[in-house]
Amino acid sequence: MLRSPAKAFTAAILLAACALAGCDGLLSTNNPNDLIEEDLEDPTSARALTNGSIVTTSRAYGYMYALHGIASDELYWIGSYDAWNQMDFGFINNPLNQFVGVAFPFVGEARWTADNAIDRIEEFRENGELEDDLVLAQAYHYGALSYLLVGDFFENFALSSKGEAGEPIGPANMKQLYDTAIGYLDNALQIARSQNATDMEEMVLATRARAKHGRAVWEVLNPPGEIPDRSYVSPEGAVADARSYFELVEETADEEYQFLFGPSSVVNYVADQVNNRQEMAVTDIYANLTDPVSSEPDPRTAALVERFTEGQYAPITYTSSQEMHLILAEAALVEGDQEEAVRHINLVRETSELPSYGPATSELSVAQMLEYERKANLFMMGRRLHDLYRFGEQAPRWNENAPTVQAPGTVFPVSEAERDANPNF
């Protein structure tokens, strides 16, 4: 994404950050519009820089989860914009689609803002001017989340900087974004442990497990095309991190790690499109999901849907303790340890007081139950499209000629506006 180094952009990020966390001293000015980029060279800007990264990253997730939700079987089109309808039918690789064009700049903004915050705060730390190293750990964490968003959902990307056009990474090299994210999380974890910040350690371990699992899924889905049915993954690093996570929290923990939205920060775009503009709605699949063990409506998915449909400020969960169990269950399945896989599946169910699953008394295999639990627990977490691909499923509205059917693994393109602005594409 190409942006000019406008003062307005810097001021907007700082003001958004202060809306979240409050700022003293740095922004004590009669006219916030007088802020210039040089103000970010002040070490007291560290927290504002990190909070600015949180704001831009959370906003980008809202835009991309709208694309993901309609491309998967979580949302369907009910509104007036045919560009959403196009995606609903599985034609998700059109660079001229207006909503790809709307989302792409926010993702580029988030990635640039995250890296800019990290670069500046690292310099403060090297100069002995950083008051709290945990601020840098936060910057690393949200920087990782911005890179994961790009790696999960784009076929190509360029790490541009303001008016300087970046070179395309290339479809075959997009897995490098996961490596960058994991490296940032390594740094965040080191700081969290050195500061005995257990809550942050838990969050970073969970995010790193999710990142390593996501990288393994990327390997399965790329290049797009024929994907072996039931493509389960068992990345050693993800398993180790999920196990380390449960050394810090109870195995029956019910933890969610989220982006929060509100009147003093930004709107959750996908929630706004569903609840205010009513361009999309939750599909009947999720609105009426039935638990295969109890044969009753699944209360977990019902609760997730209810929270998501409350309004434009619904939170976005980027990982959870349930996802950690499901990563471990999938790994156990790959290793042939069905008993351990069932144990983790039932730990997920236990947190919601649902009856235990037993393969001997169920029509569903352990593999099918794992797939169901991912479906029930990870609603609107950006995992479903990848799971449809790797589990050999299709969304009901996908057209047989759509790339989602003809080339499973297809994700979103670089927008036409970015192609026009960046001569390297």
Domain ranges for the chain, please list them.
7-413
Taking only the tens place, the pLDDT of each residue in 97-121 is 999 999 999 999 999 999 999 999 9
Average pLDDT score over residue span 392-406: 97
- In terms of Cβ atoms closer than 10 Å to its own Cβ (0-12, 13-18, 19+), residue 225 is exposed
pLDDT of 228: 78
DSSP state string for 218-257:
HHHH-SSS---SS-----HHHHHHHHHHHHHS-TT---EE
Mean pLDDT, the chain, integer: 91
Taking only the tens place, the pLDDT of each residue in 46-74 is 999 999 999 999 999 999 999 999 999 99
Please determine, for residue 31, whether its predicted confidence score (pLDDT) is greater than 70.
Answer: no
Please determine, for residue 396, whether its predicted confidence score (pLDDT) is greater than 80.
Answer: yes
pLDDT of 5: 29
- What CA–CA distance (Å, rounded) separates 166 from 160? 4
Please determine, for residue 15, whether its predicted confidence score (pLDDT) is greater than 80.
Answer: no
* Three-state DSSP class for residue 316: strand
Please determine, for residue 287, whether its predicted confidence score (pLDDT) is greater than 70.
Answer: yes
Taking only the tens place, the pLDDT of each residue in 178-193 is 999 999 999 999 999 9
Tell me, rounded to whole angstroms, the distance of Cα 18 from its chain centroid: 23
CATH architecture type of domain 7-413: Alpha Horseshoe (1.25)
Q: Do 266 and 362 touch, CB atoms closer than 8 A? A: no
Average pLDDT score over residue span 165-180: 96
Q: pLDDT exceeding 70 applies to what percent of the chain?
A: 91
Please determine, for residue 200, whether its predicted confidence score (pLDDT) is greater than 90.
Answer: yes
Average pLDDT score over residue span 271-285: 97
pLDDT of 371: 98
Helix boundaries (H) for 383-425: 384-390, 403-406, 416-421
Please determine, for residue 20, whether its predicted confidence score (pLDDT) is greater than 70.
Answer: no
pLDDT band at 22 (very low <50, low <70, confident <90, very high): very low
Q: How many CB atoms lie within 10 A of CB 199?
A: 11
pLDDT of 36: 60
pLDDT of 12: 37
pLDDT band at 3 (very low <50, low <70, confident <90, very high): very low
Closest alpha carbon to 182 in 149, 215, 136: 215
Please determine, for residue 344, whether its predicted confidence score (pLDDT) is greater than 90.
Answer: yes
| Strand 280-282 to 75-77 pairing | antiparallel
HSE, side-chain direction, 13 A CA sphere, residue 315: 11
Q: How many CB atoms lie within 10 A of CB 128?
A: 7
Secondary structure in 3-state letters for 76-91? EECCCCHHHHHHHCCC
- What CA–CA distance (Å, rounded) separates 155 from 135? 32
Lowest mean pLDDT among 86-95, 158-167, 253-262, 286-295: 158-167
Please determine, for residue 335, whether its predicted confidence score (pLDDT) is greater than 90.
Answer: yes
